[in-house]
Amino acid sequence: MQFHHLQRAHKNKRSVPVGRGGKRGKTSGRGGKGQTARAGHKIYPQIRDMIKRIPKLRGRGKHSFKSFREKPAPLNLDTLENAFPSGSAVNPASLLSGKLITTRSGRMPSVKILGRGAVTKKFIVSGCSVSKSAREAIEKAGGLIHPESNPNQKSRTIPHRIREDSRGS
């Protein structure tokens, strides 16, 4: 054994960072001096009214208007070509069983089929939204896309709010 082959039994213990830049140094996360820095501080109603007048959108970060809507799981045509035989049904359940998509928080994600790659096999697509180029490629190969394929598309029909029998008399 040589000197440079020796290894320590225990790693260095990291000291708790204190001071400027640390989490528990100087003011320990309480801001500056004054009433709010003391233990048992209570803000009285006059101060609370003043705080309510301050704009609340300040300091929310760069991407504060990010959408909460879940984006569909993207899937390209070349992936479908490699994963499925000709004439097979392509839907979220078959994609999940083929391990091409995964569940999100235990729920089935929405799927969008995109047009990268070429298709030579016939696919029967349902329950997925399909891009324009992917739709053309699937139909060109002799595949079929069901009209209810886009679950996120809103219906164009307007519901009747007033019933026929409640109008007159």
Span 36-88, pLDDT tens digits? 888 888 877 777 777 777 777 666 777 777 777 888 999 999 999 998 888 88
What does DSSP say about strands 73-76 and 111-114: parallel, antiparallel, or unpaired? parallel
Q: Which fold has domain 73-149?
A: Ribosomal Protein L15; Chain: K; domain 2 (3.100.10)
Q: Edge to edge, what strands does the sheet with 144-145 contain?
A: 88-90, 123-125, 144-145
Answer for the pair 127, 145: CB distance below 8 angstroms, yes or no.
no
Residues 6+ apart with CB under 8 A from 11: none
For the chain, give every domain's residue range. 73-149
At 44, is the secondary structure helix, strand, or coil? coil
At 124, is the secondary structure helix, strand, or coil? strand
Q: What is the mean pLDDT of residues 108-131?
A: 90
